[in-house]
A and B are shown apart, each in its own frame.
Chain A
Amino acid sequence: MLLTFAEEILLLFLDDDTGKFENMYYEEFKYALAGAVLMDLALRSRIDTDLEKLTVVDPTPTGESILDGFLRKISESEEDKNTFYWISEIAKSGAEIRDKALESLVSRGVLRVEEKKILWVIGVRRYPTVDDTQEKEVRRRIIDLLNSEDIPTPHDVALVSLADTFDLFPQIVGEYEAKKLKPRIEQISKLDLIGQSVSHVLKRLREIKADAYVLHPY
């Protein structure tokens, strides 16, 4: 079963025991999902990027509904835009990407939907894991890679890059190991230009928020 990056990232954010997304702040998480879409399109040879622009090299649909709408949108753009632009643009549809990825994981039998009521009123949807093979496989592969001097596959570079941007490593390998493995994580993360762009967008977002707080603390 080949998961999209958006699906893999959702699995890494999901707490197996509670079925809830831990440490997920949607305003930031939507950029991870946007980056995941672009990484998928790049690894499926539909787009290419450099330090200045992102171009479509093959507009043929991938067959993944999460990806194809955005591929069409980028193809229809009249001029080349850079990766930052497309991350910001796609992030506007973050909720749609998240919901499609969750639907896909449920239909693949990886997750199930559980509706709960808090105080009998507020509906809360949780996604307990049904089959954790995929998630364990992703985690094992990443841990093995970080603990070796192996050269990563392009797929694993993209995944490590996204996981690093969203500080998922303490959750994946534990606080101590994450700190110890930081230089290796950074070396691998840097190899992905789309991942670097997601990281820059997020850094900028955090700076704007920090500035806003200084100006209007209350």
Chain B
Amino acid sequence: MNIEKTKIGETLVVTPEGNLDAQTEKEFQESVLDNIESGENSILLDFSKVTYASSAGLRAVLIIAKKQKESGVKLAVCGLHDSVTEIFSVSGFDTIVDVYPDLNAGLNGLPS
């Protein structure tokens, strides 16, 4: 899985590309957990290039959100495609992590 990381101001924008499923969950999860452990304190997961998410992919998001909460890191998700929005909504993940429509809204919406 290609995972792009860009620092915009104080926020690390993580942009995974492709499917977020059982094949890619571990790589994505470990990549973001590394950033949390190395001291990043504001992370925006930009899912604009994620076209599919399965329950394994959601599990990675859950584990990241758990670690983020325990570490006091600010975390949000943005740019969900329709199919990913649907699975986020059906499974109530939008109650676990803040979701913004796009990158700008995510950068503005992350708590300072």
- Which residues of A does B touch, CB under 8 Å? 42, 45, 47-51, 57-58, 150-154, 157, 187, 190-194, 196
Contacts and interface: CB of A to CB of B under 8 A. Distances in A.
A191 B86 CA distance: 13
23 contacts: A42-B55, A45-B56, A47-B22, A48-B21, A48-B55, A49-B55, A50-B53, A50-B55, A57-B22, A58-B22, A150-B66, A152-B66, A157-B62, A187-B95, A190-B91, A191-B58, A191-B92, A191-B96, A192-B91, A193-B55, A193-B58, A193-B91, A194-B55
B9 to A, nearest CB: 26
B22 A154 contact: no
Interface in B58-112: 58-59, 62-63, 65-66, 69, 86-87, 90-93, 95-96
Interface residues of B, number: 23
Nearest to B21: A48
B23 interface: yes
Given A50-B53, A57-B21, A191-B91, 10 more contacts: A58-B22, A151-B66, A152-B62, A154-B59, A154-B62, A190-B92, A191-B93, A193-B90, A193-B91, A196-B90
A167 B59 CA distance: 25
> 6 smallest A-B Cβ distances: which pairs?
A190-B92, A48-B22, A151-B66, A57-B22, A193-B55, A50-B54
Nearest to B62: A154
Contacts, number: 62
Given A57-B22, A191-B62, A191-B92, A48 B56 contact: yes
A58 B22 CA distance: 9
Contact of B87 (A51, A157, A192): A51
A82 B60 CA distance: 22
Nearest to B89: A190
A150 B95 contact: no
A187 B87 CA distance: 15
Contact of B66 (A45, A153, A190): A153
B88 to A, nearest CB: 11
Nearest to A83: B55
